[in-house]
């Protein structure tokens, strides 16, 4: 991990948020954030978990000063046998309530469930957050931005077949744009193997080109947006 973080810093990635997908991984994310400079934590319950979330554990972890978000949470209707849909909605609403209670943003997963996620978020006015691993169209980006959410792109935006995503990235208001690794997934074009922090630079270069700005300008924009959304995050 130290080697990957050093490699990332050499590529310009100064800070990372380690995401939890259940109570156990959320604990590990907090432990990493405590021990590794530049690492922060999000605690959550991925919708494809088949067991209910341990909300009492998440409610305890969320008080840690290195926890900057609730995530990864959301809905995934691609497979009924992994995370039943009705239970997913209950879990997602519980996570949104926890986020509002503690004034934290949510990091939202959606797959084959866009309308359901939108309706769930409508039920929690004032909730801040980010739609992660964005692969949807401009119209949906507009709907989620109307709710106050940011839009985050992984390495998928670099792929030759995804000019549509680069167009969304070009059109986004500057203050709603975020980038992510989504490790171990989201590998940029031309890379192979699990996603690494340093490869976020590949994504940044493509998005900067799409927006017609320099890489340093995009890096500064990302720092401003991350600091604004993840208020506990202190970028030195």
Q: What is the pLDDT of residues 122-135, one digit of tens each?
A: 999 999 999 999 99
Identify which has the larger pLDDT, 2 or 161.
161
Q: What percent of the chain has pLDDT over 90?
A: 88
Identify which has the larger pLDDT, 82 or 17.
17
Mean pLDDT in residue range 212-228: 96
Contact 180, 153 (CB under 8 A): yes
Nearest Cα to 154, choosing from 126, 131, 121, 124? 131
pLDDT at 21: 96
Mean pLDDT in residue range 35-61: 95
Asked whether the predicted pLDDT for residue 215 surpasses 90, the reply is yes
pLDDT at 83: 65
Question: Mean of the per-residue pLDDT values for the chain?
Answer: 95
Asked whether the predicted pLDDT for residue 207 surpasses 90, the reply is yes
Asked whether the predicted pLDDT for residue 2 surpasses 80, the reply is no
Nearest Cα to 42, choosing from 15, 78, 2, 6? 15
Mean pLDDT in residue range 146-168: 97
Helices (H), the chain: 2-10, 23-35, 55-61, 85-102, 114-122, 138-146, 163-171, 200-211, 215-229
Mean pLDDT in residue range 107-126: 97
Asked whether the predicted pLDDT for residue 236 surpasses 60, the reply is no
Mean pLDDT in residue range 205-227: 97
CA–CA separation, 25 vs 30, rounded Å? 9
């Amino acid at each position: 991990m130290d080697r990957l973080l050093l490699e990332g810093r050499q590529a310009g990635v100064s800070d990372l948020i380690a995401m939890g997908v259940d109570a156990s991984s959320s604990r590990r994310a907090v432990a990493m954030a405590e021990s590794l400079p530049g690492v922060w934590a999000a605690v959550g319950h991925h919708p494809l978990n088949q067991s209910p979330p341990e909300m009492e554990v998440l409610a305890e972890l969320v008080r840690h000063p290195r926890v900057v978000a609730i995530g990864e949470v959301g809905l995934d209707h691609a497979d009924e046998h992994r995370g039943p849909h009705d239970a997913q909605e209950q879990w997602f609403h519980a996570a949104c309530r926890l986020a509002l209670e503690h004034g934290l943003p949510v990091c939202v997963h959606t797959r084959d469930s866009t309308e359901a996620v939108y309706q769930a978020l409508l039920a929690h006015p004032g909730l801040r957050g980010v739609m992660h691993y964005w692969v949807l169209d401009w119209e949906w980006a507009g709907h989620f931005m109307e709710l106050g959410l940011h839009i985050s792109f992984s390495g998928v935006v670099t792929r030759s077949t995804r000019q549509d995503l680069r167009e969304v990235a070009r059109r986004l208001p500057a203050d709603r744009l975020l980038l992510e690794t989504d490790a171990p997934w989201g590998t940029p074009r031309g890379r192979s193997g699990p996603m690494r922090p340093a490869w976020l630079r590949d994504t940044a270069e493509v998005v900067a080109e799409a927006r017609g700005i320099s890489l340093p300008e995009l890096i500064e924009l990302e720092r401003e947006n991350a600091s604004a959304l993840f208020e506990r995050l202190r970028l030195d």
